[in-house]
Amino acid sequence: MRVGNIEVNVKKTPVLEPEFVPMGLYMDAFEKNATEPFAIAVYRENGNVSVYDTKIYGTEEYFEDDCTYAERILKFMLWAAGGYKVAVCGNAKVFAALADLYKRGGRQNFDVKTMSDVYENEFEIVNIAYEEKPEPKSSPKSVGGYVDGCRIGFDAGGSDMKVSAVVDGEVIYSEEIVWLPKVNTDPDYHLTNIVAAMKKAAEKMERVDAIGISSAGIYVNNRTMLASLFLAVSPEDFEAKIKDIYKNACAQVGETIPYEVANDGDVSALAGAMDLKDNRVMGLAMGTSEAVGYVDASGNITGMLNELAFAPIDVNPDAPLNSWSGDKGVGSDYLSQDAVIRLAPRANITLDEELTPAQKLKVAQKLANEGDPAALSIFESIGAYLAHAIGTYAHFYDIAHLLLLGRVSSGKGGDLLVETCVNTLKEEYPQLNVNVELPDEMARRVGQSIAAASLVKLG
């Protein structure tokens, strides 16, 4: 496969999408012969900065390749680390091309606007000499793993919510509750359903000491800054009622109950670290979207954004266009229920358009559980996507374990998905030593709500 002047050798392509070009293998092929020092630094809150130090070609012949490579690295870093200021360290011509893309009204306006909104600072991109590149800085923090007392764990997904009651580390109640947040414009619908679920768990215990919340999206100081769950809510209602929705929900359960809100990806990583009793864990939940979190070698959450649903993993110029971000080849179109729905026509499976996305996933999973070869080819393809995604993520994260959660990993399809992923990793990325872990069926479905219960430290 060829991207510009870069030849990418892919041995194991997804069976239903052979034109997929893994970003990790593309990066390896690009970096093999590049010689000009180059770095991209992304600044976020509290002076934290992430740096990707690399090389480009720096020649007229490879200028477009340099721009493509640098832009995809920048895009990945924005959604992995998060930040409102970018320093392009080196080549001024490549910087100028990136600055034209990453400006208000530019091609990457979604990224510019989102990062400005999340960090409440206007997005900025500057050029500095390579020799002036900053040193990386992070502020990791220890969270979760607390099991004392009577706790509610709540996980808000796009198709269902999971709620658990946990007493001194023992799960005494867990339930999945169907809801439709992404199509409801009324913020009171969301609040009412969240409160009702939490109160069901509260009724199972003599008291509630803490509430831990796992929710898709970006959360800063327990406030909702960006979340696809509330996509249909107007900007005015989002500002007035959604930003503090979990604060208000918990207050209806009990005014003085301490609570903590975490991105569902970080909670899936925490669930993995707790279950495996090890660190360097990436948790990846494949559900309505792709949710990713990471626990570092010290057992801490890094403070990075880890919103890899919007990070690129496919550099095919004709990759699928993401309906929300407007970009191509990003993770959520390959590692979520959207991937199942997108691949169904390629497998000659017709899904009733009247069904919800979650119902369409269930149809495909039922066929896979019955051994239907076409349905199984969907999950086999997603397993290849996952392996190549890990190959990309390993350029930016130190991963020992990849823990899978979420509906897409359920059933026989999920088992084939993991098998394909493991085999693809061995063949394409023999230098990596990543254990791909699939919890038992109950943990796959409600594990995040149980881990969420442990977020709050009492006393």
Structure confidence by residue, pLDDT tens digits, 5-44: 999 999 999 999 999 999 999 999 999 999 999 999 999 9
Q: What mean pLDDT is reported for the chain?
A: 93
> For residue 446, what pLDDT is reported?
53
What pLDDT shows up at residue 442?
Answer: 53
Class of the domain covering 266-451: alpha beta
Distance of CA 248 to the CA centre of its chain: 26
- Model confidence at 194: pLDDT above 80: yes
Residue recorded with tokens 């010290």 = 298
- Beta pairing partners, 49: 43, 137
Predicted confidence at residue 207, as pLDDT, reads 97
Question: For residue 444, what pLDDT is reported?
Answer: 53
* C-alpha of 378 from chain center: 20
Selection from 229, 230, 225, 306 nearest residue 265 by Cα: 306
Q: Residue range 418-444: average pLDDT?
A: 87
Q: Is pLDDT larger for residue 274 or for residue 364?
A: 364
pLDDT confidence of 213, banded at 50, 70, 90?
very high
The closest of 268, 274, 264 to 227, measured between CA atoms, is 264
Q: What is the pTM of this model?
A: 0.85
Q: Looking at the predicted structure, is the pLDDT value of residue 262 above 90?
A: no
Q: Is 87 helix (H, G, I), strand (E, B) or coil?
A: strand
Q: Report percent pLDDT > 90 for the chain.
A: 76
What is the CATH code of the structural domain delimited by 150-262? 3.30.420.40
Give the start-to-end residue ranges of the domains of the chain.
34-132, 150-262, 266-451
More confident residue, 426 or 45: 426
In the chain, pLDDT over 70 holds for what percent of residues? 98
Domains 150-262 and 266-451 alike in fold: yes
